[in-house]
Amino acid sequence: MRAAIVVLAISVIDCSCEYRPRPAFELPRVMLWAWQRAENLSFIDPHTTGVAFLAGTVRIPQNGFPEFEPRLQPLHVQPGTPLLAVVRIESTVSNPRAQIAPLVQALSQVIHQPAIHGLQIDFDAPASERAFYLSLLAALKRQSPVPVGVTALASWCEGDRWLDHTDVAEAVPMFFRMGKDEARNMRVTSSLCASSIGLSTDEPWPLHRPPGLQRIYVFTPRAWNREMYSRTLQRIDDWK
């Protein structure tokens, strides 16, 4: 396992803040996902928009020992931009319970970065790995100095509500990369998923804004630019 995370290339970020335990995310209503590529988001308004950046990927190979790959691409933001660290988990093991301790150790490289407002875990856990995932979230709850949230398949927030009893700050239902027109018709019935939603710039959004929605995460398959950011904000404003 790579022992140290590289210093992220966030060249203009204000890192003078201190982390402290928070009962929930303190984030703006719009969050832009910055994925595995170079991103310059210095043009966004840090008072209304934050950045959920991929901080690294954890891979659990067949031998069961987690391998952490840190973000290597530069990310540029204005000082004071709210940041949420995202870690993607990929596993080839059907039930990797023994991996929790080293996995938490790997994630500690991310959660102790002083500039972040929280950690978001992105893991498409199949049914065989749900017990492991619940144990991991419980361990992070005990050890993380910042709130921990998750992304969630939209089906986990409608009928298959297995995350309902977790003590996470937020579960973001992913309303993209689904079947044709599925995102337009799926309803959120879980209160854990009711405050946020994950959308993509290149796909249809649900016909109506869900009631009680507080935060919108937006993904784009290409690097963000000023024009795409402006169009996205307008689309959000027009979404009723």
pLDDT (0 to 100) of residue 131: 86
- Written as six digits, the tokens of 233 are 């904000």
Q: What is the pTM of this model?
A: 0.86
What is the tens place of the pLDDT at every residue in 199-230? 999 998 988 888 889 999 999 999 999 999 99
Enumerate the H helices of 61-166 as residue ranges.
100-111, 130-143
Q: Is 84 in contact with 118 (CB distance < 8 Å)?
A: yes
Distance CA 195, CA 64 (A): 35
What is the tens place of the pLDDT at every residue in 135-194? 999 999 999 999 999 999 888 888 888 988 888 999 999 988 765 555 566 678 788 888
What is the tens place of the pLDDT at every residue in 24-51? 789 999 999 999 999 999 999 999 999 9
CB hemisphere CA count around 236 (13 angstroms): 23
Distance CA 157, CA 212 (A): 15
Q: What is the pLDDT confidence band of residue 98, given thresholds at 50, 70 and 90? A: low
Q: Roughly what angle, to the nearest 10 degrees, separates helices 100-111 and 130-143?
A: 50
- Written as six digits, the tokens of 20 are 């402290």
Instruction: Determine the 3-state secondary structure of 60 from DSSP.
Output: strand
Question: What phi and psi values does residue 39 have, to the nearest 5 degrees?
Answer: -135, 135
Distance CA 33, CA 174 (A): 12
Distance CA 131, CA 237 (A): 39
The CA-based angle 104-109-111, given to 5 degrees, is 80
Give the residue, 115 or 20, on which the prediction is more confident. Answer: 115
- Annotated domain spans of the chain: 30-238
Distance CA 108, CA 123 (A): 17
- Written as six digits, the tokens of 220 are 């784009």
Q: Token match 């993209």: residue?
A: 176
